[in-house]
Amino acid sequence: MRNLKVTFVDDESIVISDLLTLIDWENSGFIVEGWAYSPDNALRLVKQCSPDIVFMDVSLPGMDGIELCKKIKEIVPFVTFIILSGYMNFSYAQRAIDVGIFTYLVKHEMTSEKLLDVMKKVRAKIEKQENENTLIRTHALKNYLQQHLTTAQLSILEQAHLSPYRKQFTLIMLTALVPFLLRGSKEHSLFSSYTGSPVELSIPENHTTNIFEQNGDLVVMTNCIQNVTSGKDYLFCVRQLINTIQNDLLQKFGMNFFAVYLPRASKLETLHHDFELLHKCLPLYIFHKIPAMQISGQINHSIAAELDISFINRDGFLNSYQEMVDKTSDVLDRARKMEDFGLFSKCVNQILLLLSGFGMDIIKNKTEISQLLDVESVSEYLLLQLSELYRSNTLKSGLSASTCFVINYIKKNYNSWLSLSEASALLNSNSMYIGRKFKSETGKAFHEYLADYRILQAKELLCSTNMKIRDIAQQIGISNSQYLSKTFKKITGKTPYEYRNQHSYK
């Protein structure tokens, strides 16, 4: 709950003196920014401090109080007025209501209790209004960005709500440091369920701040940095602000965030350009092991569209593996040196497509890929997967077609009820013949191979999840947890609990 800024406008010093002493303003949650005895001084004061609440005398030298309220509203659109008068004038009170004045107080009837009661109601009204204003402002900003509007195309109401950003503001964009291969997955869409601000940040509350999700990333706009628009002082303030935001996000989501920012303040007129620039630079976190990055100019042009990487395919893998891997490694290294996110993503997606064509879904292995946050580790991991697939494929070449079929049958259906008879029937062959051939080529009987593969899957679930043992048993096709524990101990020499304790869940 922030302290609300208050100003007094009255041509009688005794009235202002009474207002100053009637209640303890600071302990009640208010800051008296100043007072004025004339309309001209009042306008100067309002421009200087942008108050939340103005106590306004009905009659001032040279100007009617209601008229002055209208002029002040042009400067501070969402200010709240409390009218002061020596007596109750009902026609004047009606005019005040028409202008949007909050309440009308008779000076000689004011007591500390009455004033405190009014201020509590004013606070409740302002807090409700500010929450509504934040939602409207966020909607206006998102509409402004998505529709590529100009300020002239905004409605009068939207322009009023965006007025705090008319002079200058700081624009920061952040992205969660999720494993690169999991970017875009539902479980890492942190902000998709939020319609308003997804997190409360420790930014000074007496400034305007909007926080919203855009394309899965976080946008922060705030005018809390005042009086400087560029240079060392501005950058120092921005970096302090980013550090505060990142700490808040870490506490909220338990994740680190990478931030990008400009070396200068933004304006509504430059928002489209600044937003697009920062948005394009967010993925650069994979090239830099730093928490934040200053963006000083345009990023390098991506050559992804011009570079042909169709050589990463099944035929190349099977018939000229080493040549394909060498060329793939060169492309990944080129993308790293050029900081070309488009090229890197294109190459990664092509490798994943090739691996999936051989039945490899590496995204399932959450334990390993959870550590892949930068370009070097992702490249190394994918090249290793290609090497493992090639080795596995080479070993498979010594197996008969029927044995390869049974192995794939087990891997695809291990979580269901399986039998050698069913596999043999699919091959239109005798189960005894298939069983003998399978054991002679793999060294294991069908049921032994199936048990080993199920335990392999159980190990992965024990390490990468906090699932209960009985749920893991059902997940891998074993009817009960007792049988899983018995089989697990027989194969590994440890119980599932012992294995999990030695390989802590992350």
DSSP per residue over 257-288, as a string?
Answer: EEEEE-SB-B-GGGHHHHHHHHHHHGGGGGG-
Report the SS3 class of residue 112: helix
Residue 244 has what pLDDT? 92
Q: Which of 265, 263, 273, 181 is nearest to 226 (CA)?
A: 265
Strand (E) or helix (H) holding 173: strand 170-176
Please determine, for residue 506, whether its predicted confidence score (pLDDT) is greater than 50: no
Q: Which CATH class is domain 4-130?
A: alpha beta
Percent of the chain with pLDDT over 90: 42
Two domains, one topology: 4-130 and 167-294:
no
Mean per-residue pLDDT for 96-122? 84
DSSP secondary structure letter of residue 200: -
Residues 6+ apart with CB under 8 A from 388: none
Binning pLDDT at 50, 70 and 90, where does residue 104 land? confident
Contact yes or no for 404/441 (Cβ under 8 A): no
Tokens of 271: 């928002």
Report the SS3 class of residue 13: helix
Range of weakest confidence among 32-36, 53-57, 160-164, 187-191: 187-191
Contact yes or no for 355/386 (Cβ under 8 A): yes
CATH 1.10.10.60 fits 401-502, yes or no: yes
For the entire predicted model, the pTM comes to: 0.61
Q: How far apart are CA 46 and CA 29, in angstroms?
A: 20
Residue 7 has what pLDDT? 97
- Locate the domains of the chain by residue range: 4-130, 167-294, 314-390, 401-502
Mean per-residue pLDDT for 259-264? 94
Contact yes or no for 467/457 (Cβ under 8 A): no
What is the tens place of the pLDDT at every residue in 262-320? 999 998 888 999 999 999 899 888 998 899 999 987 777 888 888 899 999 987 787 67
Binning pLDDT at 50, 70 and 90, where does residue 395 land? low
What is the tens place of the pLDDT at every residue in 6-30? 999 999 999 999 999 999 999 999 9
Q: DSSP string covering 241-252, please?
A: HHHHHHHHHHHH
Range of weakest confidence among 78-92, 122-136, 335-349, 425-439: 78-92
C-beta atoms surrounding 501 within 10 Å: 12
Amino acid at 225: I
Contact yes or no for 30/3 (Cβ under 8 A): yes
Q: Which of 298, 336, 293, 329 is nearest to 311 (CA)?
A: 329
Instruction: Kindly report the average pLDDT of the chain as a whole number.
Output: 86
Please determine, for residue 353, whether its predicted confidence score (pLDDT) is greater than 50: yes
- Please compute, for residue 148, the number of CA atoms within 13 A of its CA located in the half-sphere on the CB side: 2
Percent of the chain with pLDDT over 70: 91
Please determine, for residue 124, whether its predicted confidence score (pLDDT) is greater than 90: yes
Range of weakest confidence among 182-191, 318-327, 394-403: 182-191
Amino acid at 317: F
Q: How far apart are CA 383 and CA 391, in angstroms?
A: 12
> CATH number of 167-294: 3.30.720, 3.40.91, 2.60.40, 3.30.70?
3.30.70
Residue 505 has what pLDDT? 43
Range of weakest confidence among 22-26, 32-36, 217-221, 356-360: 356-360
Q: DSSP string covering 465-495, please?
A: ----HHHHHHHTT-S-HHHHHHHHHHHHSS-
Contact yes or no for 377/370 (Cβ under 8 A): no
Mean per-residue pLDDT for 32-43? 95
Residue 192 has what pLDDT? 52
Q: Which residue has the tokens 């024990």?
A: 462
Looking only at the bridges linking them, the beta strands covering 217-222 and 209-214 are: antiparallel
What is the tens place of the pLDDT at every residue in 193-216? 554 555 677 776 667 888 888 878
Length of the chain: 506
Q: Give the residue with greater pLDDT, 421 vs 463.
A: 421
Q: Give the residue with greater pLDDT, 466 vs 184.
A: 466
Please determine, for residue 122, whether its predicted confidence score (pLDDT) is greater than 90: yes
Q: Which of 458, 455, 439, 450 is nearest to 491 (CA)?
A: 455
Mean per-residue pLDDT for 428-432? 90
What is the tens place of the pLDDT at every residue in 158-186? 777 787 787 889 999 999 888 888 876 65
First to last CA, the chain: 37
Tokens of 338: 């050029």
C-beta atoms surrounding 287 within 10 Å: 19
Cα 416–chain centre separation = 38
Strand (E) or helix (H) holding 81: strand 80-85
